[in-house]
Amino acid sequence: MSTWNALPLALVVVAASACMHAPPVRIAGRPAAPSAPSEPWKAPPGVVPAEPAPPALPPTLPADVAARGSALSLADAVDLGLRNNPQTQLSWAQARAAAASYGAAASAWIPSLDASANAGLASTTVGSSNGGAGRRLTITPQLTLSYLLFDFGGRAGTVAAARDAAIALDLTHNATLQNVALQVETSWFNLQAFRGLVEAARLNLAEADTNLASARQRNIAGVATIADVLQAETLQAQAQLDLETAEGNLQSGRGALAVAMGLPANTRYDIPLAADSMSVGMAALNVDTLINRALEARPDLAAARTLILQSQAQVRVARSAELPSITLGSTSSRPVSNQSNFTGLNYGLTLGISIPLFNLARPYNVQAAQAQVDASTARAALLRTQVTQQVFAAYYSLQTATQRAATTQVLIRSATASEAAARARYRAGVGTILDLITAQSALASARAQAAQARWTWATALAQLSHDVGVLGPRGETPVPLLAPTPGRP
């Protein structure tokens, strides 16, 4: 073939190769990338999956708790969160996938048996003295047995790594359950605190309305100036603004709790009124004991320690790739043909050895596996330090919240008495509107702090239980962790 005749063929080959290796430049008829750094990419119709259909409105609670939807207890809320929250769904799916992978890896200890069948048709031309052409149809079923006899720890390392990965993800699921339980509890306590703030704001507004009416009457009677009326109007407007803010926060808290439970934010539900008999107390154990307990009980820290074992097993796998392996194999087949001389039972037994001679990647694989051991060890040490800090901070947050819960009771008693005295002095004409406004502002602040103090303490206790790793599967706190303090609210 001449050069000129070969040139078109070469061009066709080059163009075909370019088309095979060139990246796609269009998706569904549109550019596959934005035209400029400042331009958005416009997705062609049908390329992006559609959003799943929303649930039927109005959103409802699951049937088994719908009857209690008007007074959803903390246990109900935590139970819903553990069942519905996407975090628990994800960690559960990962744990099940790891368990299946462990089962697949462990199957390497059992011989594998495969079956196959081949069908063939052959045509043979022979001399006329032998009868002319002939055709042969052969069907050959075959069984193949194979088993790895020895590989210097590679198989054992693979199984151990899969086992440790499954354990780590199981422990991670346990940690996720505690995280979700804490999230639900915190949202539930915050909602109770927001409800208390709304009630306090309503009391403040009612008192501001009374003061405004009194100031107007005194102004009409000529015993108060218009300045008193204006200051009372300012206080009343501020109280109205505080109530509107508290009501908005209450609705936001309701949506946050619904999301923590794995439900739409606009789910219709309510929680019961808080009981005033909640016992507030200090931690029964000292901080050093709690830290030691956290280092033993935290599931995420246990998972980190297990991942060290997994990476050590991966080192054994990488090293075994540099060493020989011995395999045992067996095949058995029985061809069936229309010609009798092609039928019969065939079998074979093989013993093979594989010796790696040179592969530059294998030493690097060993180094990478050893580095992963160091990385896993460092991650566990870092998490251990973080756990220590978390427990230390949560312990003293609980101590502070306990003290604040007691102090706010003293504060609200003194602020209530001060406001009552200031109101009586103002009505008697011996006090000023400024004194009354100052006393009422102090009372409003005391009410707000009292409304939050108990729930701040409850949140601190849940946080400490979580950080120690002893938060129960339904959000409960172990009794030994808390020592009730007599006389505390």
Token look-up 């009326």 returns: 229
Q: Are 198 and 250 in contact (CB under 8 A)?
A: yes
Cα–Cα distance, 39 to 420 (Å, whole number): 65
Predicted pLDDT at 411: 93
Predicted pLDDT at 131: 45
Cα–Cα distance, 188 to 77 (Å, whole number): 8
Cα–Cα distance, 116 to 334 (Å, whole number): 11
Neighbours of 9 (CB within 10 A): 10
Question: Could you give the 3-state DSSP secondary structure of residue 124?
Answer: strand
Per-residue pLDDT of 192-201, as tens digits, reads: 999 999 999 9
Q: 58 vs 307, which has greater pLDDT?
A: 307
Neighbours of 423 (CB within 10 A): 19
Q: Are 65 and 136 in contact (CB under 8 A)?
A: no
Question: Could you give the 3-state DSSP secondary structure of residue 70?
Answer: helix
Question: Could you give the 3-state DSSP secondary structure of residue 196?
Answer: helix
Predicted pLDDT at 34: 87
Per-residue pLDDT of 447-459, as tens digits, reads: 899 888 989 999 9
Per-residue pLDDT of 121-157, as tens digits, reads: 877 665 544 444 578 788 888 888 899 898 998 999 9
| 278 pLDDT more than 50 | yes
| 358 pLDDT more than 50 | yes
DSSP for 378-409 reads HHHHHHHHHHHHHHHHHHHHHHHHHHHHHHHH
The span from the first CA to the last CA of the chain, in angstroms, equals: 102
Token look-up 């004991």 returns: 289
Q: Are 229 and 219 in contact (CB under 8 A)?
A: yes
Q: Are 487 and 428 in contact (CB under 8 A)?
A: no
Would you give the DSSP letter of residue 431?
Answer: S
CB burial of 66-93 (b: ≥16 within 10 Å; e: otherwise) equals: eeebeebebebbbbbbbeebebbeebee
Q: What is the 3-state secondary structure (H, E, C) of 435-449?
A: HHHHHHHHHHHHHHH
Residue ranges of domains in the chain:
77-116+152-325+361-484
Cα–Cα distance, 393 to 427 (Å, whole number): 49
Cα–Cα distance, 425 to 434 (Å, whole number): 12
Q: How confident is the model at residue 2 (pLDDT cuts 50, 70, 90)?
A: very low
- Residue 320's identity, in one-letter code, is S
Q: What is the mean pLDDT of the chain?
A: 85
Question: Could you give the 3-state DSSP secondary structure of residue 468?
Answer: helix
Q: Can you list the alpha helix ranges (DSSP code H) found in 222-329?
A: 226-260, 287-297, 299-320
- Which tokens in the block code for residue 146? 């194979």
Cα–Cα distance, 234 to 219 (Å, whole number): 16
Class of domain 77-116+152-325+361-484: mainly alpha
Would you give the DSSP letter of residue 85?
Answer: -
Predicted pLDDT at 10: 55
Q: Does residue 58 have a cis peptide bond before it, meaning omega lies within 30 degrees of 0?
A: yes
- Which residues, in sequence order, are bridge partners of residue 147? 328
* Angle, alpha carbons 255-249-60 (nearest 5°): 20
Among 27-31, 364-368, 459-463, whose mean pLDDT is lowest? 27-31
- Residue 21's identity, in one-letter code, is H
Cα–Cα distance, 82 to 467 (Å, whole number): 18
- Which tokens in the block code for residue 370? 């050893």
* Angle, alpha carbons 317-322-328 (nearest 5°): 80
DSSP count for the chain of H helices, then E strands: 10, 9
Cα–Cα distance, 177 to 179 (Å, whole number): 5
Residue 353 zone, left/alpha/beta (φ > 0; ψ -120 to 50; rest): beta
| 486 pLDDT more than 50 | no
Q: Are 193 and 250 in contact (CB under 8 A)?
A: no
Per-residue pLDDT of 159-205, as tens digits, reads: 999 999 999 999 999 999 999 999 999 999 999 999 999 999 999 99
Class of residue 223 by CB neighbours under 10 A (exposed 0-12, middle 13-18, buried 19+)? exposed
Neighbours of 373 (CB within 10 A): 18
* Average pLDDT of the segment spanning 268-286: 75
Would you give the DSSP letter of residue 37?
Answer: T
Question: Could you give the 3-state DSSP secondary structure of residue 337?
Answer: strand
Q: Nearest Cα to 140, choosing from 119, 121, 156, 159?
A: 119
- Which tokens in the block code for residue 37? 């750094």
